[in-house]
Amino acid sequence: MDTIGKYRLERKLAHGGMAEIFLAHAIDDTAGNTPVVIKQILPNLANDERFLAMFLNEAQLAAIMQHENIVRVLEFGEENGLLYMVMDFVDGLDCWRFSKRSELWESQRTSVAIYIIRQVLNALSYAHNVTDVNGELLQVVHRDLSPSNIYLSRDGGVKLGDFGIARIESNRFRPVEIIPKGKYGYMAPEQVEGRPVDMRADVYSAGVVLTELLIQQQLFTGTSQLSIMLDIRDGRLDRLEKNAEKLPAGLKQILEIALARNPDERYHTAWEFNEALLMYESTMGAPLTKAQFAAQVQHVLSHSSSSKSVNSDIGAIAKTLAGKEILGVQFTGSDGVTAVDALEDLFSDGTPVTMSTEHLADDGKYWAQLPNKSILGPTPFAHIVELIYSDKITSETPISKNGRNYRAAREFEELVRHLPVHTPTSTHDEVNQPKRRGLLEIESPSNTLLTLATSGDTGALICEHDGHRKEVYVRNGMAVYVGSNESAELLGEYLVEKGVIERMELEMALALLPKFHGHLGDTLIALGMLTAVELFKHISGQIEQRLADLLLWNKGKYEFFEGVEVRKGVLEVQLDLVAAVRDDLLTKMHRIGGRRIFETLEIQNVCPTNLIGAVIDRMHLPVPLYNKIRAIQNWCPVSALLFHPDDTPEDIGKTLFFSIESGLWTCDASAIPWHMN
């Protein structure tokens, strides 16, 4: 292909996961004085509505947005059924590559970093407040701000590009939910958790970029995309703290506001963030001028090995690995940046390297010495994990890998994360004794969980019946993880059941599990089956389902061990136990036969418990139900609960179910009718 539309292609700059990038000139520009960049969607995505929406949104938005700090989209069209857009050529380099040459501008590090981010904030402020042709605010949120989307030109210009996944509040635009791989380190906590985002998410991302420019390190790093997302979600700014001495006085506080985990505690707008930096600059003396910044960019470019200026429309373009494919990216071209730079670009934004699985083989076989002294094996890793979850292998079970000496299962890194964090003990050692214990026939799971929530406990609730076990880890009364020994409740089985992945895909991932230290989530991400954001949502759903299953139990025993924490590396969530119990009981209440319950308990008595005062207002119950529960103060015959003419045995029976099951009321009956089903 020599032309696209009215443009003559000079060379292909890159072939990525979504598009091909070309350097081009208008056919009538015989002198070639005005180069442009053309991004054309890949043929295999030409009919993918998600990617088409990205292209169409960006083109439509480009027709509205005109700002000196935003890359212009000059034209949008279709060639042979493939959409393309024509953009300004930025004669310079992107911010990511610029940051990698920080030794060349170290003497003006603070001034340079602030200059770049203030220009980016100008772009964001404009985008956040841009209106359509009718004057309606679009509330554009970029959602993909990272160093590779910030372009620095030789003349000192700073431009923000790639608005393809922007959130736009207008029915004139198409919803886009694609999250590009490799951008996780710049996403705001609310974006990581899949919650709605507004302009404060972009403020956060700008704060991350500024921090990295100042400390000359990535703010969030980890062994996987998921671990990076957990650090962001939990607001861990360890690298900022460790590098605080690199920051001039007063600047750290500005960064901490921009990087606040809670959006309400951040700068509310890009303009506010910009003003804070402007005020800080005034304490430093004269701010950096555009001419001075241009000199820094040219200095970096002059020390680059590139023989020609590097186009940076979608990040630094690798051009020297002609005909080679690296981790799925096909490189073409014969001049430009060095191979080292090309590889740096490939892993820009700190993207954890996705392992190529083409040559990976099974990572060996395992043998286990079971309690009856029999030897199981050789067997694959996935089978060992299944035996751990079914309690047939414990932390002390002797395990051999590839025929080597037997060691306790807890000594194998890939097995540790699957072992129970805490196992109830029957010894009389005071240290190992539970703080509370009871029978679920008497204290239902709902009652037990509400008690933990209202007391603000931290520890592990272990529930068991007929060989089944659930482990609910709470911190300050909030559930942070729910474990299970049911093989059917493993993450892989959950994903298959929900139709997220196919059984064959799960088997492939399980075969490669040891290569990723036993982390199924990391394996699925590496294989491209799920993004980290998708995985995060599904794990949260899996944990919620495990808790919902526990709420179905009507027999067994429980023990609560105070102070026991969930194992490091486990993906924690934040589950409101009060809300979870309320929603579960309300759903069951509407399905249960209230009249039968009333008739069974009619000659019994009920009484409110101490729990009622601590929790009922937090449950936000429907007013009629709330009033019925609050109506009694002491022991009261069930038959006397028909206070008003409108009360029916059906309604009172449902109230009895909710109140007794939750533990808000106690009943003197020897057996609870719905526990006998």
Q: In the prediction, which pLDDT does 659 show?
A: 92
Q: Cβ contacts of residue 431 below 8 Å, gap of 6+?
A: none
Structure tokens at 573: 């969530």
**Residue 38 to residue 20: CA distance in whole angstroms:** 8
Superfamily, domain 91-350: Transferase(Phosphotransferase) domain 1 (1.10.510.10)
**Residue 173 to residue 498: CA distance in whole angstroms:** 30
Structure tokens at 291: 């001419």
Q: In the prediction, which pLDDT does 194 show?
A: 78
Count of all residues that appear for the chain in the document: 677
For the chain, residues with pLDDT lower than 50 are: 182, 305-362, 424-430
Q: In the prediction, which pLDDT does 376 show?
A: 85
Q: In the prediction, which pLDDT does 14 show?
A: 67
The structural domains of the chain, with segments of one domain joined by +, span 91-350, 358-576, 592-676
Q: 197-201 contacts: CB < 8 A, separation 24 or more?
A: 197/141, 197/143, 197/167, 198/139, 198/141, 198/263, 199/124, 199/128, 199/139, 199/141, 199/268, 199/269, 199/270, 200/263, 200/266, 200/267, 200/268, 201/141, 201/143, 201/263
**Residue 61 to residue 30: CA distance in whole angstroms:** 31
Helix (H) or strand (E) run with residue 580 in it = helix 577-591
Side chain identity at residue 22, one-letter code:
F
Going from the C-alpha of 263 to that of each of 273, 316, 591, the distances in angstroms are: 13, 31, 40
Helix (H, G, I), strand (E, B) or coil at 349: helix
Considering the entire predicted model, what is its pTM? 0.66
Q: Cβ contacts of residue 558 below 8 Å, gap of 6+?
A: 436, 437, 438, 439, 440, 443, 445, 448, 461, 462, 463, 464
Q: What is the torsional sign of CA 201, 203, 204, 210? A: positive
Cβ pair 472, 550 in contact under 8 A: yes
Cis bond before residue 378 (omega within 30° of 0): yes
Q: In the prediction, which pLDDT does 43 show?
A: 83
Q: Cβ contacts of residue 408 below 8 Å, gap of 6+?
A: 395, 396, 397, 398, 399
Q: In the prediction, which pLDDT does 32 show?
A: 63
Among residues 20, 10, 75, which one has the least CA distance to residue 42? 20
Side chain identity at residue 317, one-letter code:
I
**109-129 and 199-215 helices cross at what angle (nearest 10)?**
170
Side chain identity at residue 288, one-letter code:
L
Among residues 96, 87, 35, 23, which one has the least CA distance to residue 61? 87
Cβ pair 341, 316 in contact under 8 A: yes
Structure tokens at 1: 């292909």
